[in-house]
A and B are shown apart, each in its own frame.
Chain A
Amino acid sequence: MAPVTPPPPKKNWSLNSKATRGVLYQVIALFLVVATLAFLANNTQANMAARGIPSGFDFLSAPAGFDIGETVIEYDPEQSYAVAISAGVLNTLKVAIIGIVLATLLGVSIGVARFSRNGLVRGLSYGYVELFRNIPVLLQLLMWYLFMVEVLPDSSESWNSFDAFFLSKGGFSMAWPTAGVGWGWVWFGALLGLVGAAVWRRRIHQRFEQTGQDGDRLWAPLALVLVLALVGWLVGGLPTQFDMPQQLDFMVEGGASATPEFLTLLIGLVTYTAAFIAEVVRGGVQSVSMGQTEAASALGLTPQHTMKLVVLPQALRVIIPPLTNQYLNLTKNSSLAVAVGYPDVVSVANTTINQSGRAVECIAIIMLVYLTTSISTSIFMNWYNARSAIKER
C-alpha cells in the first residue's frame, strides 16, 4: 500500500490563517517603522529649514580652522574638515590598537593569576578585578588625568631615569633610534627574521603533524630574529645614534614621546578593560572540566603539554567571543577621550559641530566610523574563532 501523503495545506487567505496574520503583522510593523522614520526626517528637515541650518556634506571640504593637539598624519588648521576628521579617526585607531594589545597582556596575566598557587597573588588579582570593574570608566579616566596634571612634576623638572626616560606633566618621552638608513637595515633584518621564524614554525608544525616529531618552536625562531637584526646592524654600518630626549628649561624635547592625554586614555582604558578580560580568561579556563586535565596526566602528558594541548585549545573556544566584545568595548570607550581632551574622532567631530553646526552629519560620521570598526573587528574575530574552533567530525 502506498503511503498516504497528506494533501498540501491550501493557501487560505482568511484572517484566521497563520500565514495571513504573519503578513499582516509584518506590514503593520514595517508601516510603523517607515512612518516613524519619515515623521522624524520630515520634522528634522522642517526644523533645519526654519532655523536656517544648512545640510549636506559639502562642509567637509571647507577649511577646519581649529588645531588638533596631536595627530598621526600631518595636519594644520588650514586643511579641510575631512582631513581633521580623518586625523581624529587615526587617533582613535591608534589608542584602540595599542590599548587592545596591552589590555590583552595585562588581562590574561591577571586572569591566570587567579589560579595561582600563592594565596596572596590570588587575593591581589581578585581585588584588582573587583576594584577596577566596579568604578565607572569615565571616573577612572578623570582620576588618571588628574594624576597626570597634578601629581606628576612640572615639565621643567621631569622624573628622569638613565637620561633615556622622562615623565612629567608634559607627557612621557624616551630614547628612540634616530630615523635613517643605518637603523632601517636593523628593522629590515628583524622583519626578515620574523618571516623566517614564521616559516620555521610552520615547517616544524607540519613535520609534527606528519611524523609526530616535535622540534624547537621557541628558541630557534627567536635566535633567527635576533641574528638577522644583528646582521642588519652590521650591514647598516653599526649605527649608534639615538634620538635622546633632552631636559630643556620648560619642556622635554626629542625622542619618542606621548602626550599626557594619550597616556591618560591608554592607561585608563587598559586597566579597566584588563579587569574584564581577566574575568573572561578565568571563565574560559574554569569551563574546561577537571577530568580533561586528569585524563591528560593519565596519558602521561607533562603539565606544560596538558596546558598547551588540552586545556588551552578548549578554553580558547569559550574565551574568544566575550574577548571580542571586550575589544569592541575598549574601542567604543575610547570615545570618552572627549572628557580628557585627547583629540579622537568624537572630540574632533564635537568641535566640528560647535563650529559648523552640522550636528546631523557629524553624528552620522561618528556612528559610521564606530560601526565600521565594530563590524570589521567582529569579522576578523569570527574568522579567528572559526580557526580555533575544535574541528568535530
Chain B
Amino acid sequence: MSTSQTFTPIAPRPSPTATSGWVNWLRQNLFSSPGNTATTLFLLALAIYLIPGVLEWGLFQAVFAPSAEACQAARGTGACWGVVSEKYRVILLGRYPFEEHWRPVVATSLMLGGLVLSCMRAFWKPWLVLMWIAILAVFFVLMSGGVMGLSNVRTDLWGGLPLTIMLATLSIFMAFPLAIAVALGRRSELPAIRAVCITYIELVRGVPLISVLFMASFMFPLFMPQGMSIDVLVRVVIGITLFAAAYMAEIVRGGLQAIPKGQLEAADTLGLSYWQTQRKIVLPQALAMVVPSMMNNFISIFKDTSLVTIVSLYELTGALSLALNSDVEWRPFKIEAYFFITLVYFLFCFAMSRYSLWVEKQLSASKAR
C-alpha cells in the first residue's frame, strides 16, 4: 500500500532586494551609511552655496554684447563674454591679415577633416598617406600664398588655432617614424647604435621642452652654414619633433619589449630577415599594444605646443596675449578670454582622450576569445 504524498506548496521566498534603478543607485552611492550621507549632504550644501554665484556671474549678469562700456559697468558682478565676441578672430587666427582670414579657416578645416577621417577605421587604407600629402600641400599653399593670385603671407604672421593644430600635427607625423627608428635602435644588438639611441633618448627626456625651444630659437641659427637661415617656424617644428620623438621612442620600446620571444624565433625559423621580421611580425603587434599611451603622448604634444608662445610664436595662447595686451579697453577682461581658450584646448584634448578609450575598446575586442 502506498502512501500518497500530496503536493503542498511552501510559501514563496521574498524577492531579493532590488539593486538596480536610480532610487537604489542613490541609496547605494549616496546614502549607504551615516558617514556617506553626511558627505553627500555636505557636498550638496557646498553646491547650493557655490553654484548660484557662479551661474549669476557667468550667465545671468554676464555681458555677451561686444561693448566695452557694458562690460565695464558689469565689472565685478558679471562676466564679460563680450571680449570673446569682439576679439575671437584675433584670438583664433592671430596676426594673419584680416581680409585673408578665409585662408587659415579653410586650411585648418581641411586639416581637421583629415584628422577626423584618419581616426575612422573605414579609412585606414594606404591612400590615406596620399591624402595627407595632398592636405599638407594645400595647407601650406593656402597659408603662405604667393601662387595662384594669393598674396604672400610671411610665417611670422601665422598664429592662433591654425598654428597650434599645424605644430601638433606636423610634429606628430615627423616624430612617429623617427621614434620607431630610435626605439628599434635602442633594442639593437649593435652596441654603437644602441649607445647613440640611448644617449639621444635620455638626453632629451632629461631636459624640459622649453630649453629645447630656446635652443631652436637661439642656437639653430648658429648651427647653420653661414648665409643660410631657416625660418623660425621650421626650427620650432624640428625642436618639438626631436623632443616628442624621444618620448614616443620609449613608448614604442615598451611595446617592443612586450612581444614574446617566440614570435621572433618563429620569424627566424621562417627565414625572415631583420627588417621583414620587424615590419611584418613585431611592429604591427607592438604598435597596436601601445595605442593608449601613444594617444596620451599626442595629447601632451598638443598641450605642449602652447610653450612656443615663450619663443614669440603666436599660437592660441600667444595670440590671446597679442589680442589683449595692447588694448587698454579690453585688457581688464583677459580672464574671460582665458576661459574661452581653455575651453578650446579642453575640447580638443578631451575628444582625443575619449577617442583613445574607443580605440582601446576596439583593440581589446580583437583579443577577446
* Given contact pairs A44-B222, A134-B350, A22 touches B189 in the complex (Cβ within 8 A): yes
Within 8 A of A (CB), among B31-78: 32-33, 36, 39-40, 43-44
Within 8 A of B (CB), among A5-55: 22, 25-27, 29-30, 33, 40, 43-44, 46-48, 50
CA of A338 to CA of B215, assembled, Å: 15
Residues B196 and A118 in contact, CB atoms below 8 Å apart: no
Residues B226 and A118 in contact, CB atoms below 8 Å apart: no
Residues A131 and B346 in contact, CB atoms below 8 Å apart: yes
Within 8 A of A (CB), among B121-177: none
* B100-108, B258-266, B335-343, B359-367 - the one binding chain A: B335-343
Residues A135 and B29 in contact, CB atoms below 8 Å apart: no
Residues B30 and A363 in contact, CB atoms below 8 Å apart: no
* Given contact pairs A46-B226, A360-B222, A118 touches B36 in the complex (Cβ within 8 A): yes
Residues B346 and A336 in contact, CB atoms below 8 Å apart: no
Residues A118 and B29 in contact, CB atoms below 8 Å apart: yes
Instruction: Tell yes or no: A263 within 8 A of B by CB.
Output: no
* A61-69, A75-83, A214-222, A369-377 - the one binding chain B: A369-377
CA of A26 to CA of B186, assembled, Å: 13
Judged by DSSP, the binding face of B is: helix
Instruction: Tell yes or no: B307 within 8 A of A by CB.
Output: yes
Residue of B205, B210, B303, B338 with highest tally of chain A CB at under 10 A: B210
* A138-146, A171-179, A237-245 - the one binding chain B: A138-146
Interface bracket on B? 35 or more
Shortest C-beta distance, B356 to chain A (Å), equals 12
* Chain B residues whose CB sits within 8 angstroms of the CB of A137 once the complex forms: 303
Instruction: Tell yes or no: A101 within 8 A of B by CB.
Output: no
* Given contact pairs A43-B224, A135-B303, A33 touches B196 in the complex (Cβ within 8 A): yes
* Chain A residues whose CB sits within 8 angstroms of the CB of B117 once the complex forms: none
Interface bracket on A? 35 or more
Residues A370 and B310 in contact, CB atoms below 8 Å apart: no
* Chain B residues whose CB sits within 8 angstroms of the CB of A131 once the complex forms: 346
Please pick, from B33, B40, B196, B219, the residue contacting A120 in the complex, using a CB distance under 8 A. B40
5 A-B contacts, Cβ less than 8 Å apart? A29-B190, A138-B306, A139-B342, A147-B335, A338-B210
Q: Which 7 A-B pairs have the closest CB atoms?
A: A119-B29, A134-B349, A26-B192, A332-B208, A136-B303, A136-B306, A374-B206
Interface residues of B (CB under 8 A from A): 25-26, 29-30, 32-33, 36, 39-40, 43-44, 189-193, 196, 203, 205-211, 214-215, 218-219, 221-226, 299, 303-304, 306-307, 309-310, 317, 332, 334-335, 338, 341-342, 345-346, 349-350, 353
Not counting A338-B310, A374-B205, a sample of 17 additional A-B residue pairs whose C-beta atoms are within 8 angstroms of each other reads A22-B190, A26-B193, A29-B192, A44-B223, A47-B221, A117-B36, A118-B36, A136-B317, A139-B306, A142-B317, A146-B334, A336-B210, A353-B214, A360-B219, A367-B206, A367-B207, A370-B211
